[in-house]
Amino acid sequence: MQEFMIFIKTKGDHLASLSPEQQQAHVQKIGKYIGGLMDSGKLKGAQPLEMGGAVIHGNKGVFKDGPFNESKEVIVGYFHIVAKNLEEAIEIAKANPVFDDSEGSIEVRPIKQMDGIN
C-alpha cells in the first residue's frame, strides 16, 4: 500500500453559499464518506482547514507573505489515505462529496517515503 495526500480546493468558502440545512446535509455526507474510509482502513487522517492563513514565497533569502490567491482556489481540507496505487487513490478522491454541493478540484499526490523521516 502507498500513502497519498488528497487536497480539497474550492473557490473561496464553499459552504458560505449553502443554507444552514444544506451545510448540515453536507457535513453528514462528509461524515459518511470519512466513516467509509475508516471502515476500509484507507484513512490515516483528515481535517478541514480554516479560510485564513498565509502563503510565504521566497527566493534567495527574500520572503513575501501572502495570501497569493491568483487562482481564486483555496485548500479547504485534506485527507491522508492509503491505496494500492494512484488509480485507486483517484477513485477514492472522486467519491468525495465536496463535488455534490460546490465546484471544486481535488489534487491527489503520492507521498514520497524517505528513510530517517518519521
Q: What are phi and psi of 75, to 5 degrees?
A: -80, 120
In contact, 68 and 57? CB cutoff 8 Å:
yes
User: Which pLDDT value is given to residue 16?
Assistant: 77
Q: What are 26-75's pLDDT values in tens digits?
A: 899 999 999 999 999 999 999 999 887 777 777 776 666 655 555 678 88
> Which CATH superfamily groups domain 2-110?
Dimeric alpha+beta barrel (3.30.70.1060)
Burial (CB count within 10 angstroms: exposed 0-12, middle 13-18, buried 19+), residue 104: middle
Which grid cell is 29?
455526507
What is the rounded end-to-end Cα distance, in angstroms, of the chain?
17
Kindly compute the dihedral angle of the four CA atoms of residues 28, 108, 118, 50, in this order, to the nearest 10 degrees.
-50
Helix/strand/coil for 114: coil
Domain boundaries, the chain: 2-110
- Match 487513490 to its residue by C-alpha cell: 89
What letter does residue 22 receive in the DSSP assignment? H
Read off the pLDDT of residues 66-115 as tens digits, 9 standing for 90 and up.
555 556 788 889 999 999 999 999 999 999 988 887 778 999 999 998 88
At 82, is the secondary structure helix, strand, or coil?
strand
Residue 37 CB neighbour total at 10 angstroms: 19
